[in-house]
Amino acid sequence: MAGGLDREDFSAPMAEINVTPMVDVMLVLLVIFLVTAPMLTQAVKLELPNEVATSIADENPITLSIDAKGQYFWGEEALTDTQLEQRLEAESHQPTKRPIHLRADTSVPYGKVNKVLALAQKHGLSQIGFVTEPK
């Protein structure tokens, strides 16, 4: 059998890996990543105004104050934590929800301000404004 084709070459399994499908999958994943990556960033570039806040024109607002000692005041009346929650709950049942003007001393811990915000949210009062002193 001289000069013929060697039949052993055709009967052996192919030992080479076809990488074309793997490259196709990798390119598709790369395109998906490139398209979705900008959407996942949460940085928002803003240029905020450098103006002093304007006066608030709310009618009959609730004035909540927190002094340097952490004491709550409803208007001029001092309140405990329990009384504050009761007042906010009673206010939430009113047919028209009045806005809250929150005045806090600069030395008040954030936890005290956060408590007022959490209680207001709990009772469905969402119109809250922070009162500041003009420069």
Question: Which domains can be identified in the chain, with CATH numbers?
Answer: 62-130 (3.30.420.270)
Reported pTM: 0.57
The CA distances from residue 22 to 14, 18, 19, 32, 74, in Å, are 18, 8, 5, 15, 68
* Residue 33 token pair: 């990543």
Side chain identity, residue 135? K
Angle (deg, nearest 10), helices 110-122 and 81-92: 30
At 27, the amino acid letter reads L
Q: How far is CA 40 from CA 1, 6, 46, 101, 122, in A?
A: 68, 59, 18, 36, 30
Per-residue pLDDT of the chain (135 residues), as tens digits, is: 555 555 555 667 777 888 898 999 999 999 999 888 877 765 545 444 455 666 666 678 888 888 888 889 888 888 999 999 999 999 989 888 889 888 888 888 888 989 999 999 998 888 888 877 765
